[in-house]
Amino acid sequence: MEQRKVYFGTDRMMLQHRCEWDDYHLEHPGRLSAVLEKLENSSLLNRCTYLKPKKAELEDLCLVHSRIYIERIMETQNMNLEELEKVASTFEEVYFNNYSYEAAALSVGISLKAMETVLSEAGRNSSSFAAIRPPGHHASREKACGFCIFNNVAICAKKARALGVEKVLIIDWDVHAGQGTQYAIEDDPKIKLISIHRYQYGLFWPYLPENKNTINVPLNAVGMGDSEYIAFIQHFVVPVIHDFMPNLILVSSGFDAAFGDEEGNMNVSPAGYYWMTKLVLDAATSVGSPLCLLMEGGYFINSLAYGVQFCIKALLGDPGPDIQSNFCDRVFLHSLHSAILFHAHEFPRLQLFADVTRHTRIRCFVPEITVHFLH
């Protein structure tokens, strides 16, 4: 198996961002510390090239966020607990302490470093993973939301375009739709977002319809697992990669679709995350695109830590684990088929799969779309 160069970025300073008034908050420092402990107890980090962390510059944050909003977040560094709670109450599902601005700016800065490094290594089979918090894909221009303060992946995409990258593809497999990312990229057709997320016919937060430059595969039932997510990557994402021919691929790598995560109620295994990453990596390599994964959600600590570990194993080129063969959910196949038909005019390779998904939708109960892996 070919050894690939993988860059890894993180910083323990981000552990200081915590909710001071709720010790049981879902987005807590233990998420990152569990990931780092899992990686440190394996040999994986020794095989990665460590990226020196840096905080994002104000001009980079301004690629997505307004200066007024950024300055408002800066002010939280000097607030007392009562003031912090008051500011947090003006947003949706977010908290601040005196370290939140620095942690969020560091989260963006590490993401940018991971992205810029693989861009400079284009054509050399390099990839990167940023183990960061707070996450970012719910944050919009003037709004912290859903545990997110600054939108890491959107800032990376905008920065890449400013650096002269012609086309950027964002893949978001977090269980929640990244509405902040959707809003941030809707003015640039050279940035595309593919999102698979729990939707349940519009009843699951953030209840988001499709925006410009966004390609959604909504999940209208719970319990989706490896079969559905791998089918989504192989039969939707990979054809889009080959048609769109991005010069950079960014992944909003959430792990709240993992087995045991009550936020998502999905069943993706660590092996599933391995093969999802492997399929994207192989497609990226085939079109000469650098690949950068940025950590988003994931609230069941064991699944989060193992999920990150298996993503990095895939990036390094380690052999993949066996995966259980199951039926694909018929509700999922309906969504996949509908998305393929809707977007086939823009991405012709999708049309190749339309007959397959139409057939499985009509029959309603057939074995999963088989995924064959060549070693």
Bridge partners for 267 per DSSP: 225
Contact 4, 126 (CB under 8 A): yes
Find the largest Cα–Cα distance for the chain. 61
Would you tell me the crossing angle of helices 301-316 and 30-40 to the nearest 10 degrees?
40
Alpha-carbon torsion 145, 148, 150, 156, what sign?
A: negative
Indicate the DSSP class of residue 235: I
The total of other beta-carbon atoms located within 10 Å of residue 209's CB is: 12
Q: Which class for 134: exposed (0-12), middle (13-18), buried (19 or more C-beta within 10 A)?
A: buried
Indicate the DSSP class of residue 361: H
* Helix, coil or strand: residue 62: coil
Instruction: Quickly list DSSP for 294-327.
Output: EE----SHHHHHHHHHHHHHHHHTPPPPP----B
Bridge partners for 194 per DSSP: 171, 215
Candidates 28, 65, 138, 176; catalytic one:
138
The one-letter code for the residue type at 156 is C
The CA distance from 161 to 147, in Å, is 26
Active site residue 17: no
Q: Which class for 133: exposed (0-12), middle (13-18), buried (19 or more C-beta within 10 A)?
A: buried
Instruction: Give exposure, 213-249, as e/b (b: 16+ Cβ within 10 Å).
Output: bbbbbbbbbeebbbbbbbbbbbbbbbbbbeebebbbb
Contact 307, 264 (CB under 8 A): no
Residue 266 Cα distances to 141, 200, 236, 259, 371, angstroms? 30, 13, 19, 6, 20
Active site residues: 138
